[in-house]
Amino acid sequence: MASLGLALALVAGIVVGALSPGAPTWAALGAGLAVAALGVLGVLGVLGPGFGARNRARRRGAGLLLAGLGLLRGWGASHEIATPTVVIPRGLVAAEVVGASVPGPRCRLTVEVGAERWLLDADPEECPRASGELVWLRAEEVSRADANILPWRERGSADPRSGSSRRIFVDRIWPAGASESGLGDRYFRWVAALRQRAWEETRGWAEGSLVVASALGMPSALPPNRRSEVRAAGLGHLLAVSGLHVALAGLMICGVISRVFAAFGRDRPELGLVGLIPVIAYVLLTGGAPSAVRAGVMLFLVLLSAAVGRPSHGPTVLALTAAALLAVWPMWAIDPGFQMSLAAMAALVHPRAPRGILAQSWRVTWTTLPVALLHFGGGSLLGVVANLIALPVFCAWVLPTGILGSLGLSTFGPIALAPASWGAAVILDVSRILAAAPTIPALGLAALASGLLAASVRWRRSLRAPSLQGWAPIPGWRPPIWGPLLVLLIVVYQTTTPELDRAELADDGMWAIGGGRRLEVIVPAVSAEGERQGICIADPWLSPAAISGVLDHLGQPRVIEVRDPRSPPEVAERRRVLEQLGSWSPRQAGERVSCRWPQLDPRRLRRLLRRCRAEAGAHTALVRTRSGGRVECWRRDGWQPLPAEQLDVEGNEAS
């Protein structure tokens, strides 16, 4: 259990640091170093016998040390992602491809440019490309295609999972030759070619597209309408390669290898580690999603435990896996997929977890529902019914035959995917039926969670009260108690957020642009006579290309002031960029121009952004204010007004 506690301490520290990018430098460094220093004192025994027994004190000290180091690691990583290090120059930009491209309506590939990693959306004709290839990009085209958080762009944003600082959109790439290729480069070229072939062979074939999407990690292979049906039915985890895929592939591969060795009289447990090689190859083949990497690491720890003759403890293995991955990629802590993967596995590996697909599906649904509510503002219980029907078909037939069929595409063509497509047809039919069913609103989920909590309390009392012992619930009905409790707390928090008075907002022209936990605010600058003279910017974090697009969209206004009391270097960098763009023009001597800042703090602005997602269905974190205190939220199809009665707490008439 000591390993479990130490791993959880490191995970907690990294999560707190990653979720606190706005913390002042002195506070973050001071807190991390103070906690780590207490840990060192505990390990050395300086804290004295009052801190606990000697061994217990050392364990607690080691936990504090890991928590402090994790806090520093997470906070530092949040700033590495938030602040781009490369300002796009003029002319051509040299880039080196990383991994294998993913085909689709837009060819998606990762490239390294200097010290940055970019996610690149290019013309579909640019696929396939793979590691070892060098390409040229035209900087003028790159700079006009940054950031999907802005309404006049179609794509963009940073991806904390891959460590990229920006995602860009270009139509032309010029090959610049290939570098020296090793085994890894040749493998990724094969992966890129396989993905391209699978994409081309399944166009217009929904069942084959589902097989390719689930087996190779290419959700875009499935048509958008069918993809929406699968996700609405609660089966979206089948499209994106997750721990389920890697676990099934790993068990299948390791089982075959173990039987082969056993046939030759070699059945030593450590030989199972050989199966990790094809498992690693499969994880890379599917794109290395956080949940897939998590499953691969857990499989390695389980096989390692068997090899050394020590039984594996599920929660400990999960905690060690999470600690190792977050230590390498701290910003996975804010990735919804990674959070859902950990929550689902925490429910499944619990020592008292029920058996049976229905009970396990019910349990996993309630443990992942808080994550869905927190990130997406809603959730569904349809996955319980959908998984009961679709999961056996997927696990026993679609995925095994789909992987084999995908590998056989180059030899047998589309016919290789035919067996897997028979099971895929069942999954698509189930998805179509359940997607048409009405969804339970957030308040309904809260009511159901309250009922489960009350029933759980009654059940616990029945174990002690003879008068209630006859009440016997259905086995597996009770999910982990923290699942419904978190659902109830999140729904209450989201529905009881203090309303905003329109007087608190900047009148006519405030923009709030959110990215993760960063929030950049743009407000009008007005003269003493009330005439608009430019804009002011607070807490800058957008990339140079994105802020250039903002200024273009706003009509190239004069920038009067840039403020960020927490990070003077970012203010200096933003001023330098604005000077290059010709927009920086601070107040002159005697000029009376003031910034019309809103009267509410950033936390309430973030709540306003969440309300936009909940009320207007906005998926991008951007709001603006209009005359009279009206608020509009951006959606892909345009600006949508937020009802005025949602903002007023003073009982004033809604305008």
pLDDT reported for residue 12:
93
User: What percent of the chain stands above pLDDT 70?
Assistant: 78
Distance CA 459, CA 473 (A): 8
pLDDT, tens digit, 9 for 90 and up, residues 373-414:
877 666 778 777 888 888 888 888 998 899 999 989 988 988
pLDDT tens per residue across span 36-83: 998 888 888 776 554 456 677 788 888 889 999 999 988 888 765 444
Q: What's the DSSP call for residue 167?
A: E
pTM for the complete prediction?
0.72
CA angle 507, 511, 513 (to 5 degrees): 155
pLDDT at 251: 74
Pairing of β 593-595 and β 638-642:
unpaired
CA atoms within 13 A of residue 350's CA, in its CB half-sphere: 17
Task: Scan for tokens 């050395």, then name that residue.
Answer: 44
Query: Residue 220 pLDDT more than 70?
Result: yes
The token duo for 203 is 């166009």
* Alpha helix stretches (DSSP H) within 120-242: 139-142, 183-201, 206-216, 224-232
Task: Please name the amino acid found at residue 433.
Answer: I
How far apart are alpha carbons 479 and 501 in whole angstroms?
A: 40
Residue type (1 letter), 71: L
As separate numbers, helices (DSSP H) first and strands (DSSP E) second, the chain gives: 22, 14
Q: 204-214 as b/e, with b when 16 or more CB fall inside 10 Å?
A: ebbbbbbbbbb
Work out the number of other CB atoms within 10 angstroms of the CB of residue 331: 24
Q: At 641, is the pLDDT very low, low, confident or very high (cuts 50, 70, 90)? A: confident
SS3 string, 34-71, reads HHHHHHHHHHHCCCCHHHCCHHHHHHHHHHHHHHHHHH
> Nearest-CA neighbor of 233 among 372, 427, 366?
427
522-556 pLDDT, tens digit each: 888 888 888 888 899 988 877 666 777 788 778 88
pLDDT at 268: 66
CA 304/CA 402 separation, integer angstroms: 29
Mean pLDDT for the stretch of residues 437-466: 78
Tokens of 215: 């087996």
Which band of pLDDT confidence, cut at 50, 70 and 90, is reported for residue 147? Answer: very low
Query: What is the residue whose two structure tokens read 């925490």?
Result: 346
Q: Return the axis-axis angle of helices 276-285 and 183-201, rounded to nearest 10°.
A: 60
Residue keyed to tokens 């063509």: 413
What confidence score (pLDDT) does residue 523 get? 87
Find the distance separating the first CA and the last CA of the chain, reported in whole Å: 60
**pLDDT for position 57:** 77
Q: Would you state the torsion angle of the CA atoms of residues 183, 189, 191, 197, taken in this order, to the nearest 10 degrees?
A: -150
Largest CA distance in the chain: 92
pLDDT score at 637: 58
Tens digit of each residue's pLDDT (9 = 90 or more) over 296-334: 888 888 878 777 777 678 889 889 999 999 998 888 887
Least confident of 22-36, 210-224, 252-266, 581-595: 252-266
Residue closest to 148 by CA, chosen among 635, 590, 512, 589: 635
Q: How many residues does the chain have?
A: 655
**C-alpha to C-alpha distance for 250 and 312, rounded to whole angstroms:** 17
- 3-state SS of 220-281 is HHCCHHHHHHHHHCCCHHHCCCCHHHHHHHHHHHHHHHHHHHHHCCCCCHHHHHHHHHHHHH
Quick check: helix, strand or coil at residue 450? helix
Cα–Cα distances (Å) from 227 to 104, 199, 224, 231, in that order, read 14, 15, 5, 6
CA dihedral for 314, 317, 320, 321, sign (positive or negative): negative
- pLDDT range class, residue 144, cuts 50, 70, 90: very low
Where does 439-541 show beta strands of DSSP type E? Answer: 511-515, 518-527, 532-538
pLDDT tens readout for residues 155-182: 333 444 444 456 677 778 888 877 667 8
